[in-house]
Amino acid sequence: MNRAPSMNGHSTESVRARGGYDAFFAPVDEQAQPARKEIAAAEGTSASASVAPPTGGTPDFSAGRPEVPAPPREPDRSAQFEGSGSVTATPTPRPAATSSADDRYQNQTWSAQEPTPANTAPPAAAPPAQAATAAPRFDAAAGNSAAAWQSAKIPETSRAAEQPDAAPPTARVPDRVNYDTAARVEVLPAALTSVDLLADIAAARRAQLKSQSGMRGALNKVGFNLGLSPAEQRTENRRGRIRRQLTSTYQIAVISVKGGVGRTTVSAALGSTFASLRPDRVVGIDANPDFGDLPTRTCRHPYGLTLRDLAQARNLDAFSAVHSFTSINNSDLAVIASPWNTEATEALSGQEYTTAVEVLRRHYNLLIVDCGTGVLDSVTNAVLRTSDAVVVVTPATVGGVKGAVATLNWLNSHGLHQLIAKSIIAIVRHHAARPTVEVDEIEKLFASAQRPTRLVPYDEHLAEGGEIDLRLLESDTALAFEELAAAVADGFPSYPAASGDRGGWR
């Protein structure tokens, strides 16, 4: 606090005149005077050298050109390094050789734009000794900054004049990776990347489904972690077969030449099973030209719309418009009723069925059709001609078996061999008592014709005759309908139809 204030090399009078920070940071005029004189002398020498005409008589066109501004001067660092024990740098003026080089570049640029006489000789280059003599001494930082300023000072026109034939620079993205296929190294041998080995690695810590029924389910509730039982695994596989993807509209006809065999019951339960397990749209169609009661076994339409109303409707491009003609049961099965009622005077015709089904094929993936007892009427004929598979229903009686055999023979005699190849026999038990005919013998009979059979056991809920709810069925009955649905789904096409069918009329 008691020491004298620093005046930064200024005199006492100048400090008193200025005072404060201005006196401390103001440059010293006495020290700057010699450096300014040397710089002015160097610039004068450079200007006189540039104005002098070159040897050879070539006119100098740079005399009338405006002067180029001088580069920024180096700061005086002598005062900063004095007394610090480091090497002091003596302030040097701007080199004259640099100015001569700049003027030479500018003279070339200006002379390239003006016509040169034919008898004039090109200007002679400056002797290297003179340039070397005038070269100043700079430290590393001052040399780099001056070189950067000189590079930025040269105008683009002079560079273009120096290289008139040079192509314009183009942006090039460098290659990130140099692929060398000749020196490729195999990371793992093919034996270690096999599918079986990778499957074993993936299956080592795979999460599994827990059993929910039986003894395994009871143990899992108290803390065990037991997987699915064999019965539960079969259920998963069976339902996976039912959910098999369809590549085109698929139509299944449920037929029998004998009435009262449970055809409508099988149609309703089979359609509900498909609709409850499949993610796509399933519709049940009552194509019985006489007394059709499929809505009675599923769900009635709230406004009484039928298949005939759908055939006569217009503007059915939207799914919501078509869906309004159907009723939905508790298994999400869409059902469209037959037009028969007590006031009807005309039965459903094959043309009406064809028109209505052509619309349904554009909006539904799976069609379950409940046919009538007669196979000679126009509606049943149209159903069979457009179906992909058939389910022949027969009771466990002698008369029922004869009717099923007659149905297969009729299909064979009318050229519907593709339906016989995709046919399944559903044996329905209508009574709880033991049937008079052995079911095993019936199965052997149709096995001789290479046709699969499925047995539908007796169920009190089905015997009621009302709306069918899959949740009210016995476990054996629900399993039987799932087995029937899985057997039908095994015949679904796994490739797009060759005819290009995408739901249109065939």
Supply 465's token pair: 């005759």
The three-state secondary structure class of 252 is strand
Residue 260: per-residue pLDDT: 83
Residue 204: per-residue pLDDT: 55
User: What is the pLDDT tens value at each position of the chain, 506 positions in all?
Assistant: 455 555 556 565 655 555 555 555 555 554 445 555 555 555 555 544 444 444 444 444 444 455 555 555 555 554 444 444 444 444 444 444 444 444 444 444 444 444 444 444 444 444 444 444 444 444 444 445 444 445 444 454 444 445 555 555 555 555 555 555 555 656 666 666 666 666 666 655 566 788 888 888 888 888 888 888 888 999 999 999 999 999 899 999 999 888 888 999 999 999 999 999 999 999 999 998 888 889 999 999 999 899 999 999 999 999 999 999 999 999 999 999 988 776 766 778 889 999 999 999 999 999 999 998 877 788 998 999 999 999 999 999 888 899 899 999 999 998 899 999 999 999 999 988 887 788 899 999 999 988 999 999 999 999 998 999 999 999 999 999 999 999 999 999 876 544 444 444 44
Cα–Cα distance between 287 and 308 in angstroms, integer? Answer: 11
Please, which residues have CB within 8 angstroms of residue 175's CB and are 6 or more apart in sequence? Answer: none
Residue 348: per-residue pLDDT: 84
DSSP 8-state code for residue 450: T
CA nearest to 148, candidates 71, 46, 69, 70 = 71
List C-alpha distances in Å: 56 to 111, 119, 121, 149: 16, 11, 6, 32
Residue 134: per-residue pLDDT: 44
CA angle 158–161–165, rounded 5-degree value: 140
Please spell the DSSP secondary structure of 90-128, one letter per residue.
PP-PPPHHHHHHHHHHHHHHHHHHS---TTPPPPPPPPH
Number of helices (H), then strands (E), in the chain: 22, 8
Provide, for the chain, the percentages of residues in helix, strand and coil under a 3-state DSSP scheme, each rounded to the nearest 5: 45, 10, 50
Residue 226: per-residue pLDDT: 85
Map out the domains of the chain as residue ranges: 30-52+96-102, 210-242, 248-489
Please, which residues have CB within 8 angstroms of residue 395's CB and are 6 or more apart in sequence? Answer: 261, 262, 427, 428, 429, 430
Query: In the beta sheet, which residues pair with residue 254?
Result: 370, 391
CA angle 493–496–501, rounded 5-degree value: 100
Q: Domain 248-489 sits in which CATH superfamily?
A: P-loop containing nucleotide triphosphate hydrolases (3.40.50.300)
Tell me the pTM. 0.59
Please spell the DSSP secondary structure of 334-356, one letter per residue.
EEEB-S--TT--SPPPHHHHHHH
Residue 368: per-residue pLDDT: 97
Cα–Cα distance between 120 and 79 in angstroms, integer? Answer: 52
- Contacts of 230-239 spanning 24+ positions with Cβ under 8 A: 235/482, 236/209, 238/482, 238/483, 238/486, 239/277, 239/482, 239/486
Supply 506's token pair: 């065939």
CA nearest to 67, candidates 43, 86, 83, 87 = 43
Cα–Cα distance between 367 and 92 in angstroms, integer? Answer: 101
